[in-house]
Amino acid sequence: MRVTTNPIEGQKPGTSGLRKKTKVFMSEGYLENFIQSIFDATGGAQGRTYVLGGDGRYFNAEAAQIILKMAAANGAERVIIGQGAILSTPAASHLIRLNGTDGGIVLSASHNPGGPDEDFGVKFNGPNGGPASEAVTEAIFARSRQIGAYWIADEPDVDLSRIGMQHVGSMEVSVIDPVADYARLMEGLFDFPKIRTMFSGGFRMRFDAMCAVTGPYAKEIIEGRLGAAPGTVVHADPLPDFGGMHPDPNPTWAHELMDEMFGEDAPDFGAASDGDGDRNMVVGQGVYVSPSDSLAVLAANAHLAPGYRAGLKGVARSMPTSCAADLVADAMGIGAYETPTGWKFFGNLLDAGRATLCGEESFGTGSDHVREKDGVWAVLLWLNILAERTETVREILNGHWRRFGRNYYSRHDYEALPVDTANRVMDGLRARLGDLPGTMVEGMVVQSADDFAYSDPVDGSVSRGQGLRVVFEGGSRLVLRLSGTGTEGATLRLYLERYAAGPEGLDEEVQEALAPMIRAAEELAAIRAATGRVGPDVVT
């Protein structure tokens, strides 16, 4: 059935797909226009196969039914969908690759809260399993501004609770177990027997799935296949409103886990994941592992897991992520890559075999096993390393810093700012960048300052305006950029990094260690002065 429609403003995908308030997505024609724009901008759905699933948030199942009917009406041959329309983002990426499909649609606003008054999102991934490139998202946006009609089949809903083959018109719908293929992939990468032995020897863990998508994955893998004690995985049922939790695995939002890990009789290892399962936070007994440090530790130890025994080809990190991983890459004599924020920039490096591990400071780590960051994968790699090294998380971290030095690191977010105020702060610092090299700020000499532009070494494409960075002599840095994932006002992200080579000064409290960087940032960018805020809303 052809339905006439008019273009809708603002369907521009951000850092990670199109995110809007759920009610916006539920408004007439909104989801339909965007889905049709995806099909139209990628050569049509005729004869194609797709993977479909989401993180279970409010409107997930209804949106999936609409997309199935649209795919059918657009001539798609087959859609593989997780039971209950559930698929974590990394599991969807794996299924696209495993089945050689033409791409996939993931329904999620990632770590943003879910519910009728919260957020919803749609991400399109290409045949390599990774987020659509900038060129593709631009084409989708361009199409959304010209769209005049969409196609939708007038057919009954598919029974998504029933595993097996069904049809929408002549299109095949394969409803599959969302966990099975993913669990098999993990089993091939990690030494499950060794980890199982560690658990049976009394190793205790807490995994907080935050009422989001990783619950079923963690239950099956960590409690089921690895034999962790029942109850190891908490908040394990994906709920439409995430049980009111904010499924963002950081010390602020995963405070229950933090309290437990820093409390008495804490488990040996703690972890949490986000709405759609691509993010992770890891915590040891009384010690928090920053995502940048986690990437560096994983890079230095990945060879201990069977899937990475041959060594790494290279390590890639987003520009604001600390340089800790570069130090490991240098020591190992492998490539170190610095990309703009957002997982889509890692795809080419992974496809070309230049990088094996990738990571972002925003609780994202992954490898070439899929083309997304992968929370459960990161947790399993940590478990494999812990099982091999038989040291605590704290001992592993301390040893790492003694060897490579420590990149003290923190991100300060100023949220829901008026857009023009945030732009003024960015413009103010941008205007000063050219004059900064050679000057002193807070007793530190500025070595370089620029508006980061990335030139992709694989396809030569250039992405400009990716964040303002000020690098000081000795390896300390400040980075300032605007968030590309928010749905309200503007969010300024200030990234602070101070390098301590050691052997002294490796044990300071992080915010104290960064105090000079915080002062330098205010001197250079005057965020507090311009916004009238006394400090950041979220510190990670």
Choose the contact partner of 276 out of ligand G1P, Zn ion, none; CB within 5 to 8 A by kind.
Zn ion
- Give min distance, CB of 481 to ligand G1P, in A: 7
Is the separation of the CB atoms in 177 and 202 below 8 Å?
Answer: no
Choose the contact partner of 484 out of Zn ion, ligand G1P, none; CB within 5 to 8 A by kind.
ligand G1P
Can you say whether residue 474 is alpha, beta or left, with left for phi > 0 and alpha for psi between -120 and 50 degrees?
Answer: left
Sign of the C-alpha dihedral, residues 23, 83, 125, 71?
negative
Minimum CB distance to Zn ion smaller for 276 or for 456:
276
385 SS3 class: helix
Of the candidates 304, 289, 305, 279, the residue with the CA atom closest to the CA atom of residue 366: 279
Minimum CB distance to ligand G1P smaller for 11 or for 250:
250
- Give min distance, CB of 212 to Zn ion, in A: 9
- Give min distance, CB of 321 to ligand G1P, in A: 8
Minimum CB distance to ligand G1P smaller for 53 or for 467:
467
Q: Determine the Cα–Cα distance for residues 148 and 442; give it in Å rounded to an integer.
A: 57
Q: Which residues bind Zn ion (CB under 5 A)?
A: 110, 274, 276, 278-279
- Give min distance, CB of 143 to Zn ion, in A: 25
161 SS3 class: coil
**Phi, psi angles (nearest 5°) of residue 288:** -95, 135
Q: Determine the Cα–Cα distance for residues 456 and 462; give it in Å rounded to an integer.
A: 6
Minimum CB distance to Zn ion smaller for 206 or for 279:
279
Choose the contact partner of 294 out of ligand G1P, Zn ion, none; CB within 5 to 8 A by kind.
none
58 bridge partner residues? none
> What single DSSP character describes residue 402?
H
Minimum CB distance to Zn ion smaller for 131 or for 475:
131
| Set 37, 93, 108, 110: catalytic member | 110
Give the amino acid at 322. S
Choose the contact partner of 485 out of Zn ion, ligand G1P, none; CB within 5 to 8 A by kind.
ligand G1P
> Which residues lie below 8 Å from residue 321, measured CB to CB, with a gap of 6+?
291, 292, 295, 359, 360, 361
Length of the chain: 540
Q: Determine the Cα–Cα distance for residues 191 and 393; give it in Å rounded to an integer.
A: 18
- Give min distance, CB of 342 to ligand G1P, in A: 5
The reply to whether 322 belongs to the active site is: no
Is the separation of the CB atoms in 381 and 297 below 8 Å?
Answer: no
- Give min distance, CB of 248 to Zn ion, in A: 9
- Give min distance, CB of 332 to ligand G1P, in A: 24
Choose the contact partner of 360 out of Zn ion, ligand G1P, none; CB within 5 to 8 A by kind.
ligand G1P
Choose the contact partner of 169 out of ligand G1P, Zn ion, none; CB within 5 to 8 A by kind.
none
- Give min distance, CB of 482 to ligand G1P, in A: 8
505 SS3 class: coil
> Which residues lie below 8 Å from residue 69, measured CB to CB, with a gap of 6+?
152, 153, 154, 155, 168
What Å distances lie between residue 271 and 73, 167, 268, 411, 475, CA to CA? 42, 39, 11, 20, 30
Give the amino acid at 12. K
Q: Which residues bind ligand G1P (CB under 6 A)?
A: 15-16, 110, 318, 341-343, 360, 362, 364, 483-485, 493
Cβ neighbour number for residue 148 with a 10 Å cutoff: 10
Minimum CB distance to ligand G1P smaller for 48 or for 493:
493
Q: Determine the Cα–Cα distance for residues 454 and 318; give it in Å rounded to an integer.
A: 10
Minimum CB distance to ligand G1P smaller for 387 or for 426:
426
Minimum CB distance to ligand G1P smaller for 284 or for 375:
375
Cβ neighbour number for residue 192 with a 10 Å cutoff: 21
Choose the contact partner of 362 out of Zn ion, ligand G1P, none; CB within 5 to 8 A by kind.
ligand G1P
Choose the contact partner of 343 out of ligand G1P, Zn ion, none; CB within 5 to 8 A by kind.
ligand G1P
Q: Determine the Cα–Cα distance for residues 507 and 397; give it in Å rounded to an integer.
A: 11
- Quote the tokens at residue 499: 């390098």
Catalytic residues: 110
